[in-house]
Structure 1
Amino acid sequence: MAEPVRYTRTPYLIVHREDRVRKDVYGAIDDAVVLQAQLMRGPTPSDTALVVMHPIGAPAYLPVFAQLARAGHHIVACASRYSNGDAALEMENVVLDLGACIKDARERLGYKKLVLLGWSGGGSLMAGYQAEAEKPVVQLTASGEETPLAGAGLIPGDALMLVASHRSRHKLLTGQIDPSVLDERNPGQRDAALDIYDPANPAQPPYSADFITTYRAAQIARNRRISDWARARLAELKAKGGEHDEYCFVVHRTMADPRWIDPSVDPNQRRPNWTYLGDPRVVNDSASALGRFNSLRGWLSQWSYDHAQFDSVDAGPRITVPGMVMTAGADDACPPEHTDAMFAAMGSADKCKVTIDHANHYFTGAEGKSHLGEAVGIISTWLAERDLVNDTVLANTRVAA
């Protein structure tokens, strides 16, 4: 069998500028925003690049993107300014970072066609960006402040692919936040009837529909209490003359979604009592859980149920370019109901939804079986059918699989 395509990785920086008083990341120099990027490409020229970004972290080493590069695709993998932590992350700023990456790919690197590929948390970023590029609506940040995003003139992508994605950070967190917490300053004070990890709780899997309804309402209520407090605290700081002041805080117990311990809740092929971060009981109090460390503006922009502005379902009707939604059949991070809603909302006349059977969130599969080749093959064929990849790359896909 022929060897997979040998691809190269070229690291580079993208610098764009913002004239702001408040800096929300460490190491910013004057008004420069510096983004770390990599260009991954095989030996065959292409006028199409797949652009990938995640709100936090660097996506260039994720398995699916490396496998796409092995198939010969050109990948522009760019980190946002928040690659070292999301406590102060504002999604409006991440969309601006993505805009700088896309502009660089078009104008400096010379790619004529750009496909936005959102994996996991990158899905709502890519969908939100495309919606803003096609029909902008955001005028202020989630905290009600001015943002350069208004009137930014974003360059739209030529297609959108949402791969193993959830609909948004705020809807994902709300579905996972532990509603048993009664006092944010004393998380040990809990409503036992809503503590799904308490063995003495009479509500045990499989959960009744009434329990799930009550539980979900309590999750939204907790999110709203935190959001109301954050808005009030920010207003208090500003009223005292601290226009740019911030306040940082911890949100405890944020991995308590019943679906992770009861496979009958929003079912798929996932392993019970497990998540992409491990045992949900452990993750619930772990430093690695979503939304643990926050700033006021960061909470409102990325986690607030009512105030966060970037959601694939909300953005969907404004998207007209060809779209694909790819689901991992055993996804242990992104809820299946999110995938269904994202696909239904997408306004594209040309759209499809596919599932990689038994694949986990990273497409590394179960029992050592990788599903990456299958995912890359489907992506490559879909792109080729829309004249977004050349025949050589399509042939290489079969080798890389």
Structure 2
Amino acid sequence: MSEKTRSYERIPYLIFYQDKSPFKETYAGPLDFGALKSHHLKPAEPKSNNVILFMHPIGGGEYLPMVVALAKAGYPVIYCQSRYSGNDSALIMEKVAIDMGNCIRHAKEQLGYDKVILAAWSGGGSLSLFYQSQAENPTITHTPAGDRVDLTIQDLIPADGVMVLAAHVSRAHTLTEWMDASIMDESDPEQRDPELDLYNPANPNQPPYSEAFLTRYREAQVARNRRITQWVKDKLADFKAKDRPNEEFGFVVHGTMADPRWLDPSVDPNDRQANWCYLGDPQVVNNGPVGLARFCTLRSWLSQWSYDDSNADGVACAGKISVPIMVVGNSADDACTPSHTHRLYNAISHDDREMHEIQGATHYYFGQPEQLQEAVELCASWLQRKGFA
């Protein structure tokens, strides 16, 4: 059965953009031009002339259960990829915000939608909040590496509302909470502090972890992130001193899935299973090819992953947004745990906010039709009450 016969039509399309850059950071194509791959899901009987926009820094979610279910329920949906589709090794969050702005402008000016509601899903949560804060009050003119990416001249169009769905607080803070605190030498990741190595069976610190151990571990995670950041800044300064200001450098970050909460469900508790994360066995993921920030570049580290430098901090950005916001968490989420949901909700500075939790739901709702339906109904109710449907 084609998708067109299942109550909506899926239309792939491209959004072309021009963005001058002193060097190429996305694969192939002209230096100053690119294309954003997008999917437009048009219901046979749309509930309104407003559209829900999903965007993740590296995309890949146009067929996720929530995206499809909203379209089947009668809500027009766009899933827009960023210029860094499928590869975040050189990703600059400030440029992804420009991409989101291009998607919103196209939705309004080319597709003719009246209002745009951001579906801030998972890693798209902090991106959407970052975008909206800059669209309402643009302040950023340079990336954390000092490169000129001026959001104040982009004429970013603010969205009309935000649904924060199964989202984490930021790429930088999430990576830091997941980092393997035992790694002592980035050039030799086998050099580990045995008392901080969660996967060392001889480690005297075993689940359930003591508060003292968790405090020590969290401090070591932040310290490791900051050591990498300082190395990155020193490397960039060295290139600049050698009159090579556009030079880049690729590197590997080992050990990025060693959060105590994956081994001890009493840490930031919810209904997730022990010794598991959304990517599988956390010990395997810790050094596997799909771990966060595994393959990275200097500028991208500062923009995406630096604990102190990244501008795309969902908590900081949420407090700067004026439009209605709904926050939804999943009680069995094995990626974005309850503290992230609550931190985002508590950061919202106005009263037009609400928070919900879907019992038993995992991160993606795979194989969970009842929880998926509940999530769609929550969104439908909020959209109707806010005049978006």
Could you tell me how far 1:339 is from its partner in structure 2? 0.9
Pick closer, same or farther for the CA change 1:370–1:188 going to 2, 3 Å. Answer: farther
Give structure 2 stretches of 5+ with no counterpart: none
1:6 aligns with 2:36: no
Aligned length: 384
CA contact (8 A) 1:364 1:371 kept: no
Map 1:260-339 onto structure 2 (within 5 A): 260-339=262-341
Equivalents in 2 of 1:59, 1:15: separation in Å?
20
User: What is the CA-CA distance between 1:370 and the residue it aligns to?
Assistant: 4.5
1:369 deviates by 5.5
> Aligned residue for 2:373?
373
Q: Does 1:205 align with 2:211?
A: no
Give the Å deviation of 1:262: 0.2
Q: Which amino acid aligns with 1:51?
A: L
Off by >4 Å, runs of 4+ in structure 1: none
Counterpart position of 1:392: none
Q: Could you list the per-position Cα deviations for residues 220-248 of structure 1 after superposition, in whole angstroms to 9, with x for gaps in the alignment?
A: 00000000000110111111111111000
Does the 8 Å CA contact 1:49/1:113 hold for their aligned counterparts? yes
CA–CA distance in 1 between the matches of 2:361 and 2:298? Answer: 37
C-alpha spacing 1:369/1:9, structure 2 compared with 1 (3 Å): closer
Shift of 1:144: 1.5
Give me the whole-angstrom Cα distance separating, in 2, the residues matched to 1:358 and 1:71: 22
Measure how far apart 1:347 and its partner are.
Answer: 2.3
Note if 1:228 corresponds to 2:234.
Answer: no
String of CA shifts for 1:31-63, please: whole Å, max 9, x gaps: 112100011011124310001100012321111
Helix, strand or coil at the partner of 2:40: strand
Residues in 2 aligned to 1:150 and 1:222: alpha-carbon distance in whole angstroms: 33
1:162-216 CA deviation, whole Å, 9 max, x = no partner? 1000010000000000010011010000000100110100000000001000000
TM alignment of 1:17-32, pairs within 5 A: 17-32=18-33
**Which amino acid is 1:282 matched to?**
V
Please tell me whether the aligned partners of residues 58 and 78 of structure 1 are also in contact (alpha carbons under 8 angstroms): no
8 Å CA contact 1:328–1:363 kept in 2: the answer is no
With 6-15 and 54-63 compared, the bigger mean Cα shift is at: 54-63
Counterpart-to-counterpart distance in 1, 2:366 and 2:372 = 7
Aligned counterparts, 1:140-289, within 5 A: 140-289=142-291
C-alpha distance in structure 1 between counterparts of 2:80 and 2:198, whole Å: 38
Amino acid corresponding to residue 296 of structure 1 in structure 2: L
Q: 1:396 is matched with which residue?
A: none
CA RMSD in angstroms, aligned pairs only:
1.2
Moved more, 244-253 or 356-365: 356-365
Q: Once the 2 structures are TM-superposed, how far is the Cα of residue 18 of structure 1 from its aligned partner?
A: 1.1
SS in 2 for 1:235: helix
- How far apart are the structure 1 equivalents of 2:6 and 2:295? 41
Measure the CA separation in 1 of the matches of 2:360 and 2:255: 29
- Using the TM superposition, name which of 112-121 and 21-30 deviates more: 21-30
CA distance in 1, matches of 2:238, 2:63: 42
Counterpart residue type for residue 28 of structure 1: G
What residue number does 1:101 align with? 103
What letter matches 2:44 in structure 1? P
> Which string of whole-angstrom CA distances, capped at 9 and with x for unpartnered residues, describes residues 76-113 of structure 1?
11000111310000100100000000000011111111
Aligned twin of 2:41: 40
Deviations, residues 332-352 of structure 1 (Å, cap 9, x unaligned): 001211110100111232110
Tell me by how many angstroms 1:5 deviates: 5.4
Distance (Å, rounded) in 1 between the aligned partners of 2:336 and 2:263: 14
State how far apart, in whole Å, the 1-side matches of 2:70 and 2:222 are: 38
* TM-score, with length taken from structure 2: 0.97
> TM-score, normalised to structure 1's length?
0.94
1:70 equivalent in structure 2? 72
